[in-house]
Structure 1
Amino acid sequence: MSTTPSAASLYVPRFNVMDPDEVRPFVGAVATAQLVTVGEDGVPDATFLPVLWEGDRLVGHLARANGHWRRIVDGSPALAIVTGPDTYVSPSWYASKADHGKVVPTWNYSVVHLRGRIAVHDDASWVRDLVTRLTERHEQPRPEPWAVTDAPADYVDKNLRPIVGVELLVSSVEAKAKLSQNRSDEDRAGVATGLAADGREPDGLVAP
């Protein structure tokens, strides 16, 4: 899998590069993405969907009633955007404000862009396997995990018919973590304190 950015790449300043070892766990923890494709008519579509990143494939499903999947051209380029928590950062939180006042507001966030070729899977067996894996992924930590096989087979079949699978063969990955890394330790500590005072958990919103 190449990580070489395409012509329309994610803007990532050198101090905002996400640690490569953190990219896949980040996508796995978020577990959702905005899938963006462009149909033959040149009109873009975007759908929020649950996803699994397995090897070099990002898989998920859309509602059959969502016309997006019908406008996908198999093998065409697609973009999946995975976003983590984000927050406004007040300049009043910076320790350096008291020193020189040369501070401005900003926004902290983390995001991963996965690009590749997209395929639609309107196949009951493929979709069942996907839904089973998605369910196992999210139920596994529970004391008494629910399984697809816990429901009557005909009921599961009925609920699988209204969804369609999609598969992105990932060819490039770009990841950005804008978490005040370019600020001093004192300024980052001020951001963490400010977030906590606003009722926000600083973890994942400001660099340690």
Structure 2
Amino acid sequence: MYVPPHFAESRPEVLHDLIDNNPLGILFTNGKSGLDANHVPFELHANEGPQGVLHSHVARANSVWQDIATGDEVLIVFRAGDAYIAPNWYPSKVEFKKQVPSWNYMVAHVYGRVTIRDDERYVRGMVARLTRIHEAKQTDPWKMTDSPKDYIDMMLKMIVGIEIEITRLVGKSKLSQNKEVRDILGAGNALKAQGKNVIGDAMLAAAAVRAEQA
């Protein structure tokens, strides 16, 4: 990924937070059948290993777990949000006419070594944790014990665990940091007016940092 210095996000805690809040990653592999990409929900254990460990699962019917082998390098991409940026949102465009359209986004690229975990204990524990995390936001949280034990046992046999030890984290937050503070504010407020608060709020925060540094 091309990362100019002004867009680089290297703080591990910020990238971990991005992953926690946007757990559906794109798992890229290059196995026996060539390049593949799968959309998979992950659970991050930031304190495991030197840089953290990702835990997930795929359907047993998905050939990816047989196409790759334990020890293979994989890439997972997590995206926090994106938004089109119109030139007219920059006050300097009105003054100097020198702005062009752009696209802002926040992403984390995670490189790591995969371990295939085809064992019931690992899968059961991981699914239970994922369920607790995401069902906690529901008014009537679903629990694994809500379904018959034999049904849950059958469903768990239909998935395979995937564990990824993180070896490198690369982050990019493209929020117009290469623009004037007034331009960052103008575009950020325009996005918020359209309800695109993720990138809008991030741009306003970036403008505040730039203003403090001025």
Does the TM-score normalized on the shorter chain lie above 0.5?
yes
Q: Does 1:49 align with 2:45?
A: no
Tell me the number of residue pairs that the alignment of Structure 1 and Structure 2 aligns. Answer: 198
Partner residue, 2:66: 70
Alignment partners' CA distance in 2, 1:37 and 1:207: 36
Give the conservation status (yes or no) of the 8 Å contact 2:192–2:201. Answer: no
Higher relative contact order (CA 8 A, sep 6+): 1
TM-score (norm 2): 0.86
Give the conservation status (yes or no) of the 8 Å contact 1:62–1:166. Answer: yes
Offset at 1:15? 1.2
Unaligned runs of 5+ in 2: 206-214
Give the conservation status (yes or no) of the 8 Å contact 2:144–2:152. Answer: yes
Which one of 89, 93, 114 corresponds to residue 93 of structure 1?
Answer: 89
The within-5 A match list for 1:20-31 is: 20=11, 21-31=13-23
The residue type equivalent to 1:16 in the other structure is F
Offset at 1:31? 1.0
Q: Does 1:165 align with 2:182?
A: no
Give the conservation status (yes or no) of the 8 Å contact 1:179–1:207. Answer: no
The within-5 A match list for 1:142-153 is: 142-153=138-149
Unaligned runs of 5+ in 1: 1-9
Q: Does 1:181 align with 2:174?
A: no
Q: Does 1:39 align with 2:31?
A: yes
Which structure: greater helix fraction? 2
Offset at 1:40? 3.0
Q: Does 1:11 align with 2:2?
A: yes
Offset at 1:107? 0.7
Offset at 1:194? 2.2
3-state SS in 2 of match to 1:206 = helix
Alignment partners' CA distance in 2, 1:193 and 1:103: 17
Percent of aligned pairs sharing the same letter: 35
Offset at 1:207? 4.3
TM-score (norm 1): 0.88
Alignment partners' CA distance in 2, 1:67 and 1:179: 38
